[in-house]
Structure 1
């Protein structure tokens, strides 16, 4: 070995031995995990598949047992939402997916939902519906269908989002 070369570099053989030692430790930990486990390695996957099949089976049986809506029920639902413009559901709270949940509830009630998104604001602390002056009656119908209820407020001039739609701003369930 030449004394003029860098002496602080690790020799190739020492690096290979270090990598071999790490591989042996990892192999030993893997064998230990397999021998200490009471279940077969794929038992968790099998249980998950069985529970998914059971859930799908239960959902199919529920759908088969549920009575289908009659034309009278459908027309009554449409009559309740007649004259209501498209809705814009915005989540201004801390509950993840709240706008989607409320949107589904309103769609199931017969309302038409356009945009569903998040709204970053700290000024709204309760479920609120912003409406234009000619939309007050429609806003009252929607407020009755919002889970947990909603306050009505005339649309502020600075709130330009969903201009022609009723803005349903949800904060809580």
Structure 2
């Protein structure tokens, strides 16, 4: 009778090993998803809060120093939020571009990463009302970026101008 009980245990062991393997795969996928997330919840909250409370501020432009500033810099200081995303393989590229834009007087959010195979060149996405400001960003960056209308599927940086950088 003992040999029969060993035969019934084999399918149970195989089933248990299969469940264990599935659990390991699920844990691995969950860990990978958590580590490679493309956006920061804190940055998204800050961007949403700043765009929701955005009001025209004439005092910010009036209080800006007049000597040594260009008209595009003073216009940009009160302009829309500019979000920079690194979609290339060069680490730190979004930080560099964000610093460049800050130095030119733009309001910028925290730089982030974006994983997209459909964007292959430096691009500035804009909504129809922000076209002129987006073209100023392209001119100020001088990195070969193009200004394109924001695709409906692109949901990052709502209410602002999104700068996607691939190369320097």
Q: TM-score, normalised by structure 2?
A: 0.57
Q: Secondary structure at the match of 2:67?
A: helix
**1:25-52 alpha-carbon deviations (Å, 9 max, x no partner):** xxxxxxxxxxxxxxxxxxxxxxxxxxxx
Equivalent in the alignment of 1:153: 148
Q: Secondary structure at the match of 1:74?
A: coil
State how far apart, in whole Å, the 2-side matches of 1:83 and 1:134 are: 15
Structure 1: give runs of 5+ residues left out of the alignment. 1-69
Q: Which moved more, 1:133-142 or 1:81-90?
A: 81-90
Equivalent in the alignment of 1:122: 117
* Larger-gyration structure (1/2): 1
Equivalent in the alignment of 2:136: 141
State how far apart, in whole Å, the 1-side matches of 2:95 and 2:82 are: 12
Q: Secondary structure at the match of 1:148?
A: coil
**Residues 1:170 and 2:160 aligned together:** no
Structure 2: give runs of 5+ residues left out of the alignment. 1-64
Counterparts of 1:23-34 in structure 2, within 5 Å, are none
Alignment RMSD (CA, Å) = 1.8
State how far apart, in whole Å, the 2-side matches of 1:118 and 1:132 are: 21
Moved over 2 A (4+): 74-80
Q: TM-score, normalised by structure 1?
A: 0.56
Judge conservation of contact 1:102–1:147 (CA < 8 Å) in 2. Answer: no
Q: Which moved more, 1:108-117 or 1:140-149?
A: 140-149
**Matched positions, count:** 104
